[in-house]
Amino acid sequence: MLTQFENQLADFLSNNAQVRKIDFHFENAGGGFHISPQGFARVARAIRQERIRACTGSTSLGAGIAGLYYQNTNRFELVSDVFPAAVNPRGIIVHEAVHALIDLCKCVATTRLSDEAAAYLAQVVFMFQNGRRTFTRPQYTAAYDLAKASGIIDPATNAVHAGVRLTWQQYEPLRREIHNRPAYQTVGWLAPTGASGIAMAPQHPCTL
């Protein structure tokens, strides 16, 4: 049985107007991947089928971390037990939902840094639609600059454009900025993502 939070999470990913405008392609030698409203709806469907679960009320995440998605257990882990109304924590949910989508698609040819780059890009596109134009952390600024330069967003008109295809050369600077973060400095430049696919059978509810 779904928790109230899981119901709200699935509804957010499948129906939120800003989430439904996040639509871009990452191209690479392994074939690339597509972050799209249909993809977020697939994650929502997997949540409703209890194939992905959400653990709330976590006290084990590091300082400043509001949520994570674990590709090895197919679970979101979040600090709050209440679905957030504010933009920043909702942006974190969008970020982590990208990791869930990569997992669901079993994108084994995708690198960990590209997985992370796509998550940051989706997050800033969501936050842009909610009024954010400046960011203090370098990886967010790099993602925002990529969104502008590639034409995904247009700050002059507040527009968001769907279906933009980004080459490896275009998103490589964002990968490098992420690689500079202490948590990712030991990750190999081409190390594969941990996406292993999601089983069809429902999972038991979360326990922390």
* Residue 122: predicted pLDDT: 98
Look at residue 52 and tell me if it is in a domain.
Answer: yes
| 8 A C-beta contact, residue 2 and residue 55 | no
Q: Single out the residue of 19, 15, 21, 9 nearest to residue 159, CA to CA.
A: 21
> Of 19-33, 38-52, 166-180, which gets the smallest average pLDDT?
19-33
pTM of the model: 0.95
Look at residue 198 and tell me if it is in a domain.
Answer: no
Look at residue 164 and tell me if it is in a domain.
Answer: yes
* Residue 109: predicted pLDDT: 83
Total count of domains within the chain: 1
Look at residue 199 and tell me if it is in a domain.
Answer: no
Look at residue 155 and tell me if it is in a domain.
Answer: yes
pLDDT tens, 167-205?
999 999 999 999 999 989 999 999 999 888 888 878 877
Look at residue 44 and tell me if it is in a domain.
Answer: yes
> Of 51-60, 94-103, 150-159, which gets the smallest average pLDDT?
51-60
127 lies in which domain range? 4-184
pLDDT tens, 99-148?
999 999 998 888 999 999 999 999 999 999 999 999 999 999 999 999 99
Look at residue 84 and tell me if it is in a domain.
Answer: yes
Residue 194: strand, helix, or coil? coil
Look at residue 160 and tell me if it is in a domain.
Answer: yes
Q: Sign of torsion, CA 36 37 40 41? A: negative
Q: Single out the residue of 178, 96, 88, 167 nearest to residue 142, CA to CA.
A: 178
Span 82-96, mean pLDDT? 95
Alpha carbon distance 38, 128 (integer Å): 20
